Amino acid sequence: MEGNHSQKDLGPIALMCMDSDAKDLMLKAEKGYEKHVREIGLRQSVPGFIDWLFKSGLVDDVREKAVIEFEKHRQKILESFQGSPNTEFTRSAKRRSIHSFAYWFFRWSGLVDAAGKAVIK
């Protein structure tokens, strides 16, 4: 798996932890965006966060790839919920949120390292 995490296989179980530097950068981005929208008087939004994130300089600009890959990721999740009897969880999982994008981007995407530098593939 790509991304900013470590994995330890313990027999049939895999234990994974997010890199602490990547987590710190994710939290810094979320708080920075929250402060930004408060200062200019806008509401938070996922498109606004994505735009701000790549313009902020916190991470290298990999916006085009990130948007495409995140949508692919979301589609896989939505497909896995088809036919689920847990409608409350399904509804919440379908909602777009700043944190869901940020968590995927900083931990799982493999597009940037824990310092926010683009990973060349």
Q: What is the DSSP letter of 3?
A: S
pLDDT tens for 81-96 read 888 888 887 777 778 8
Backbone angles phi, psi at 14, to 5 degrees: -115, 130
Task: Give the model's confidence band at 58: pLDDT under 50 very low, under 70 low, under 90 confident, else very high.
Answer: very high
Alpha helices in 1-121 (DSSP H): 20-40, 46-56, 63-80, 87-94, 98-103
Higher pLDDT, 45 or 4: 45
